[in-house]
């Protein structure tokens, strides 16, 4: 059993109010909520200027999600959504965390606050240092900070004792410099948020299609006959995606949604970009809702595959695209034969859905060819996540629904540049061909031993095999699983360093010494020796484009991420073959180096200046699968869930509320689920509540069970909800303490934070 060491958010309840669940997402309420956040944090005048520039071709990229912007027409008001506006408000806030703030608030005192309160304190204005044994952070000069880190790094027994994390907001330019610094220092320990996010998608797609990214473009949504949205809540997490789904519907396409929850945004929405549609009944999006049990997706997809096979055998050529299969794929027979190992009745139990509904879905798949399948964390954070995604690919391959207009794979990324960071080399196991090119261009020998991913980094710090943690953005303690274990891991470190815009819990759960290095956000101007710089990012569909800050930096003492890396490299690397100071004097020089090393970036500086940017090459989009081991698109054999629940046990998924951005808590409401002013809630099926003798708003403790180990999270209110039996939902980071460090996805090693086995104890 673990106890709270302030690494977890406090157990205090905040005063819940329940509301009716809205019938429609977005609309006037969303606009109002966006403007309220903007007004509170930034003031209306600055706020409107910000929104005007958000996601416009010469503006800045929204730090919210990675959903792409339209290639052509952009919304007349602004290409933004409620949650994008909240993300911008959060970053551009007037509130400041100054040296005086740190002098008057000890670390211990701050760690007792909720994440919401910590975040609201504001933007960090100066580099800050917590020396060993001290209670308060104190101001430090940039030079001293760099020297201090350099000294610690250079006194390690091996470069592999340092860990360099990245969160997915880091620009291409910063990410490229960062990985170059880390590899010149001598390690591949480059874990990133992607390890906890779409790593399973990358693994599954690389194996089956030869590229770890999705294949569709935004325009494909205008042409699709059928879009299937699995394990994703776009109304909250990718609101602009609803516009694309609306286009699919306007053009006669159909939408199937597969989710344990009837997420409001997917059912009906009102286009935020079109004021004429803010009133009225909105647009119905989902045609068929399959309310799957948590982790029942492989079972569901297998039933669909079995039904497709059955029909094809009964009526040859009525289902499969034989020409595509013959020319482009490998492994069909093995996949089809394996289906015989499963009976529909067995599989049905795992899905919790009626066969009738699954047959309806199968008909839609059989009768259409232009099919897009979209997914996010509902598929990627389970033990068999890679199986989930490979099974999706099986369906698309049978139909030949890939590499053609209106069809393909659409893993919807989270952080706004998480995909770009990978392209730039942020990965603990980059290919030799990438590393060879890096060595050639910069005349050094990069390390080849694979580094630690997130989970292995935590274990290494826990076991004291790693002694320095450096975070380029993010909030490691709150984003990672097994909070108390991870807290011990971080506290074992000699030094923890965070490059951050805002104060977060990771600054407060620290190593023996700790540093906060404050950096510019997306919305701010970045001035270097040669003048104002822009940066570039890659969205979820492989479009690379520029982002230009528009606001004055909120403090004179903050640096850009590239400048921080250059300062650190100059201090640390005595004989570097890289002229770091020159590279950051003009980011064009960084882009020239990226162009020299990474395929697809030809004429980078020129094309980055084109309005709207440019598409990176994508072999799957071109119907070319030569990068796989067989040289073809691979059918695969996949395993359904092997979760076994004992009596009185439940599966818990940890999800996002409408008022949070990962570990940043914008507010305490989850308007679309009818719960206001409280985050410590557990959503339960009413029949399960009955069998557990629980009533609405009863106070419970949650106990997770894994491998004979128990973990506890105290003080949650029970909410009766439309969720399948034996399934429950809580929010992260509150419930992260229950996610065991050893409970991970096969192959991708992603924490299984959507399948936590729990029991529920009434207080």
Ligand X SMILES: Nc1nc2c(c(=O)[nH]1)N[C@H]1C(S)=C(S)[C@@H](COP(=O)(O)OP(=O)(O)OC[C@H]3O[C@@H](n4cnc5c(=O)[nH]c(N)nc54)[C@H](O)[C@@H]3O)O[C@H]1N2
Burial of 264-275, coded b for 16+ CB within 10 Å and e otherwise, reads: bbbbbbbbbbee
Nearer to ligand X, 286 or 321 (CB): 286
Which of the stretches 173-181, 408-416, 500-508, 680-688 binds Mo ion when contact is defined by CB under 5 A?
A: 408-416
670 binds ligand X (CB under 6 A): no
Nearer to ligand X, 325 or 517 (CB): 517
* Least Å from the CB of residue 436 to ligand X: 29
* Least Å from the CB of residue 631 to ligand X: 32
Nearer to ligand X, 501 or 585 (CB): 501
539 binds, among ligand X, Mo ion, none (CB under 5 to 8 A by kind): none
Q: In this structure, what token pair is assigned to residue 306?
A: 């079995």
Alpha-carbon distance of 131 to 139, in angstroms, equals 11
Which of the stretches 22-30, 57-65, 348-356, 527-535 binds ligand X when contact is defined by CB under 6 A?
A: 57-65
Q: Torsion-angle region of residue 118: left (phi > 0), alpha (psi -120 to 50) or beta? A: alpha
* Least Å from the CB of residue 83 to ligand X: 3
635 binds ligand X (CB under 6 A): no
Q: Are 114 and 665 in contact (CB under 8 A)?
A: yes
Q: Are 763 and 699 in contact (CB under 8 A)?
A: yes
473 binds Mo ion (CB under 5 A): no
Q: Quick one: which of 159, 260, 406, 613 contacts ligand X (CB under 6 A)? A: 260
A 10 A CB-CB count for 588 gives 16
546 binds ligand X (CB under 6 A): no
376 binds ligand X (CB under 6 A): yes
Beta bridge partners of 731: 655
* Least Å from the CB of residue 729 to ligand X: 7
Decide the pairing of beta strands 268-270 and 283-284: antiparallel
751 binds Mo ion (CB under 5 A): no
258 binds, among Mo ion, ligand X, none (CB under 5 to 8 A by kind): ligand X
Burial class (CB in 10 A: 0-12, 13-18, 19+), 84: buried
Q: Quick one: which of 273, 754, 757, 758 contacts ligand X (CB under 6 A)? A: 754
**604-610 contact pairs (CB < 8 A, 24+):** 607/544, 608/534, 608/536, 608/544, 608/545, 608/546, 609/546
What residues contact 411, with CB distance under 8 A and at least 6 apart? 198, 201, 205, 213, 214, 374, 375, 376, 380, 389, 540
Question: What's 254-313 look like in SS3?
Answer: EEEEECCCCCHHHHEEECCCCHHHCCCCCEECCCEEECCCCCCHHHHHHHHHHHHHHHHH
704 binds ligand X (CB under 6 A): no
Nearer to ligand X, 99 or 400 (CB): 99
Alpha-carbon distance of 438 to 3, in angstroms, equals 46
Nearer to ligand X, 370 or 505 (CB): 505
* Least Å from the CB of residue 381 to ligand X: 6
Alpha-carbon distance of 34 to 674, in angstroms, equals 18
Which of the stretches 21-29, 176-184, 224-232, 456-464 binds ligand X when contact is defined by CB under 6 A?
A: 224-232
* Least Å from the CB of residue 2 to ligand X: 15
- Residue 228 three-state SS: strand
430 binds, among Mo ion, ligand X, none (CB under 5 to 8 A by kind): none
Q: Quick one: which of 7, 65, 209, 665 contacts ligand X (CB under 6 A)? A: 65
Nearer to ligand X, 375 or 635 (CB): 375
Burial class (CB in 10 A: 0-12, 13-18, 19+), 606: exposed
* Least Å from the CB of residue 320 to ligand X: 25
Find the binding residues for ligand X in span 478-497 (CB under 6 A).
479
377 binds ligand X (CB under 6 A): yes
* Least Å from the CB of residue 237 to Mo ion: 9
**345-351 contact pairs (CB < 8 A, 24+):** 347/299, 347/300, 347/302, 347/303, 347/306, 347/640, 348/299, 348/303, 349/299, 350/293, 350/295, 350/296, 350/299, 350/300, 350/640, 350/641, 351/290, 351/292, 351/293, 351/296, 351/299, 351/300, 351/303
CB closest to Mo ion, residue no? 414
Q: Quick one: which of 47, 122, 414, 740 contacts Mo ion (CB under 5 A)? A: 414
295 binds ligand X (CB under 6 A): yes
62 binds, among ligand X, Mo ion, none (CB under 5 to 8 A by kind): none
223 binds ligand X (CB under 6 A): no
Q: Quick one: which of 197, 264, 550, 597 contacts ligand X (CB under 6 A)? A: 197
753 binds ligand X (CB under 6 A): yes
CA distances from 245 to 134, 157, 169, 238, 248 (A): 53, 53, 26, 11, 5
Alpha-carbon distance of 412 to 540, in angstroms, equals 6
Q: Quick one: which of 197, 300, 537, 568 contacts Mo ion (CB under 5 A)? A: 197
Size of residue set near ligand X by CB under 6 A: 61
Which of the stretches 192-200, 226-234, 270-278, 477-485 binds Mo ion when contact is defined by CB under 5 A?
A: 192-200
* Least Å from the CB of residue 88 to ligand X: 11
756 binds Mo ion (CB under 5 A): no
Nearer to Mo ion, 426 or 702 (CB): 426
261 binds, among Mo ion, ligand X, none (CB under 5 to 8 A by kind): ligand X
**555-559 contact pairs (CB < 8 A, 24+):** 555/96, 555/123, 555/125, 555/126, 555/518, 557/125, 557/126, 557/127, 557/142, 557/518, 558/124, 558/125, 558/126, 558/518, 558/519, 558/520, 559/142, 559/517, 559/518, 559/519, 559/520
Nearer to ligand X, 50 or 325 (CB): 50
| Site residues, ligand X (CB under 6 A) | 63-65, 83, 167-169, 193, 196-197, 230-233, 236-238, 258-261, 263, 292, 294-295, 297, 376-378, 381, 414-415, 472-476, 479, 499-502, 504, 519, 521-522, 561, 653-656, 660-664, 732, 736, 739, 753-754
| Site residues, Mo ion (CB under 5 A) | 197, 414
């Amino acid at each position: 059993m673990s106890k709270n060491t302030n690494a977890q958010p406090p157990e205090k309840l905040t005063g819940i109010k329940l509301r009716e669940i809205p019938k429609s997402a977005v609309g006037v309420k969303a606009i109002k909520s966006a403007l309220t956040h903007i007004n509170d944090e930034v003031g209306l005048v600055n706020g409107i200027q910000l929104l005007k520039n958000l996601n416009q071709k010469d503006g800045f990229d929204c730090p919210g999600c990675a959903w792409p912007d339209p290639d052509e027409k952009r919304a007349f008001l602004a290409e933004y959504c409620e949650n994008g506006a909240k993300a911008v408000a959060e970053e551009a806030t007037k509130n400041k965390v100054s040296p005086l703030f740190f002098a008057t608030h000890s670390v211990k005192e701050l760690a007792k606050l909720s994440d919401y309160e910590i975040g609201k304190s504001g933007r960090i204005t100066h580099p800050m240092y917590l020396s060993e044994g001290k209670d308060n952070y104190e101001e430090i000069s940039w030079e001293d900070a760099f020297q201090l880190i350099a000294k610690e790094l250079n006194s390690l027994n091996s470069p592999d004792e340092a860990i360099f994390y990245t969160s997915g907001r880091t620009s291409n330019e910063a990410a490229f410099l960062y990985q170059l610094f880390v590899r010149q220092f001598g390690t591949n320990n480059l874990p990133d948020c992607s390890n906890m996010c779409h790593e399973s998608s990358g693994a599954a797609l690389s194996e089956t299609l030869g590229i770890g990214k999705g294949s569709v473009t935004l325009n494909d949504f205008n042409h699709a006959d059928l879009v299937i949205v699995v394990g994703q809540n776009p109304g909250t997490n990718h609101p602009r995606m609803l516009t694309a789904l609306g286009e699919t519907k306007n053009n006669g396409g159909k939408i199937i949604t597969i989710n344990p929850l009837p997420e409001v945004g997917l059912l009906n929405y009102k286009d935020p970009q079109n004021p004429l549609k803010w009133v009225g009944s909105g647009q119905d999006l989902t045609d068929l809702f399959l309310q799957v049990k948590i982790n029942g997706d492989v079972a569901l997809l297998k039933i669909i595959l079995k039904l497709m096979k059955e029909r094809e055998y009964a009526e040859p050529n009525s289902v499969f695209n034989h020409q595509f299969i013959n020319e482009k794929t490998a492994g069909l027979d093995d996949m089809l034969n394996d289906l015989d190992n499963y009976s529909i009745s067995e599989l049905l139990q795992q899905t919790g859905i009626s066969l009738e509904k699954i047959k309806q879905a199968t008909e839609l798949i059989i009768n259409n060819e232009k099919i897009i399948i979209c997914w996010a964390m509902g598929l990627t954070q389970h033990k068999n996540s890679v199986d989930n995604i490979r099974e999706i690919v099986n369906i698309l391959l049978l139909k030949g629904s890939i590499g053609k207009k209106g069809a393909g794979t659409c893993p919807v990324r989270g952080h706004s540049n998480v995909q770009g960071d990978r392209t730039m080399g942020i990965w603990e196991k980059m290919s030799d061909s990438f590393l060879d090119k890096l060595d050639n261009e910069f005349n050094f020998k990069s390390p080849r031993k694979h580094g630690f991913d997130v989970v292995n980094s935590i274990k290494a710090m826990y076991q004291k095999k790693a002694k320095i943690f450096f975070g380029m953005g993010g909030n490691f303690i709150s984003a990672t699983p097994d909070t108390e274990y991870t807290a011990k891991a971080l506290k074992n470190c000699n030094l923890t360093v965070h490059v951050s815009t805002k104060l977060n819990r990771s600054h407060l759960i620290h190593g023996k010494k700790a540093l906060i290095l404050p950096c510019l956000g997306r919305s701010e101007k970045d001035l270097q020796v040669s003048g104002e710089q822009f940066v570039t990012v890659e969205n979820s569909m492989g479009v690379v484009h520029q982002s230009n800050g528009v606001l004055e930096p909120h403090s004179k003492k903050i640096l850009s991420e590239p400048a921080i890396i250059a300062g650190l490299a100059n201090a640390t690397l005595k004989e570097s073959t890289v002229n770091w100071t020159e590279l950051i004097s003009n980011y064009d020089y960084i882009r020239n180096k990226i162009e020299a090393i990474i395929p697809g970036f030809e004429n980078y500086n020129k094309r980055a200046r084109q309005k709207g940017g440019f598409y990176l090459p994508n072999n799957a989009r071109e119907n070319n699968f030569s990068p796989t081991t067989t040289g073809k698109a691979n059918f695969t054999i996949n395993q359904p869930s092997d979760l076994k629940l004992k009596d009185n046990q439940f599966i818990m998924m940890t999800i996002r509320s409408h008022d949070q951005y990962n570990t940043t808590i914008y507010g305490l409401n989850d308007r679309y689920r009818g719960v206001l002013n409280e985050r410590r809630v557990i959503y339960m099926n009413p029949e399960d509540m009955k069998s557990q003798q629980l009533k609405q708003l009863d106070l419970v403790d949650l106990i997770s069970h894994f491998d004979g180990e128990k973990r506890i999270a105290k003080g949650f209110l029970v909410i009766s909800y439309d969720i399948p039996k034996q399934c429950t939902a809580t929010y992260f980071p509150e419930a992260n303490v229950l996610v065991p460090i050893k409970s991970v996805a096969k192959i991708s090693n992603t924490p299984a934070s959507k399948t936590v086995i729990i029991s529920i104890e009434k207080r």
